[in-house]
Amino acid sequence: MMQTLTTPVLKMIVGFVVCLVLGCGLFGCSMLLGDKAQALRYYSFDAALPSTPVTAIMPELTGNLANFAPNATIVVAPIHAAAGFDRNKILYIRQPYQLNYFRLSQWVDTPAMMLTPLVVSAFIQHGLNAVRQSTSSASGQFLIAIEILRLQQEFFTVPSRVHFTIRVQLLDYVTGHVIAIRDFDQSTAAQTEDTYGGVVAANSAVRTTLNALAIFCQDELLDWQQHPAIH
């Protein structure tokens, strides 16, 4: 037959249980605080373009746009990304071929989704007509298809560098004929050796690339005007 527990034993058991509960509570609180301190940080493409239009780069093109408007509109197709770069994870690399993701930092959206409206803005800033293909009334003379081949912070050197590469195809919107293909490859040094330094460098790389892309399209439009037969 079980013996009746004495009062001191009961007090000891109750005290142990209370301490256990309090300990779990404090541990849980610390875990919650820790989770809060380790919350995800989200970043975006700013890629602000100059406030003043830069159409003066090729005034002969800007002045002649009326000759074939509104057909000289560039339709920007939805941008795609190569495998590994099609997520909202922020990539870094310490050795070739091995992609890593920052654990506590992400883009607010996939790079492809963030880049699309910036491409349209860059074209407009350079005096070109441009619309997104997603709009129901999108139509034009040209179609531009873009694929992100690389967007990663590379810790091969100090400072680290952000490597941004896109492949661009400019096509006849009606026939699908390829007018030009070009890769744009930009490497920009990070000011700090952390995620934020990489994000700032990424935005700088995007700005530089978009300006180069717009000038490339201006060149192709001008060539198309002057030599329509070869297109």
Range ranked top by mean pLDDT from 15-29, 32-46, 117-131, 212-226 = 117-131
What b/e sequence results for 133-166 when a residue is b if at least 16 CB atoms lie within 10 Å of its CB, and e otherwise?
A: beeeebebbbbbbbbbbbbbbbbeeeebbbbbbb
Is the pLDDT confidence value at 210 over 80?
Answer: yes
Please state the φ and ψ torsions of residue 148, each to the nearest 5 degrees. Answer: -80, 115
In angstroms, the CA 167 to CA 218 distance is: 17
Predicted local distance difference test score (pLDDT) of residue 4:
53
Residue 181 neighbours by CB under 8 Å, 6+ apart: 167, 168, 169, 170
Predicted local distance difference test score (pLDDT) of residue 141:
83
Is the pLDDT confidence value at 170 over 60?
Answer: yes
Q: What is the mean pLDDT of residues 186-213?
A: 96
Both tokens of 29, joined, read 């609180």
Q: What is the mean pLDDT of residues 43-47?
A: 84
Beta strands 73-76 and 129-132 are parallel
Q: What is the mean pLDDT of residues 50-72?
A: 48
| Three-class DSSP category at 171 | strand
Predicted local distance difference test score (pLDDT) of residue 134:
74
In angstroms, the CA 187 to CA 185 distance is: 7
Both tokens of 174, joined, read 């009606």
Predicted local distance difference test score (pLDDT) of residue 15:
56
Predicted local distance difference test score (pLDDT) of residue 114:
95
- pLDDT band of residue 16 (cuts 50, 70, 90) is low
- Nearest of 72, 57, 54 to residue 225 by alpha carbon: 72
Is the pLDDT confidence value at 140 over 50?
Answer: yes
pTM higher than the cut 0.85:
no
Please give the helix or strand (H or E) that residue 178 lies within, else none. Answer: strand 178-189
- pLDDT band of residue 224 (cuts 50, 70, 90) is confident
* Residue predicted with more confidence, 29 or 132: 132
* Residue predicted with more confidence, 226 or 200: 200
Residue 159 neighbours by CB under 8 Å, 6+ apart: 189, 190, 191, 193, 197
Amino acid identity of 162?
V
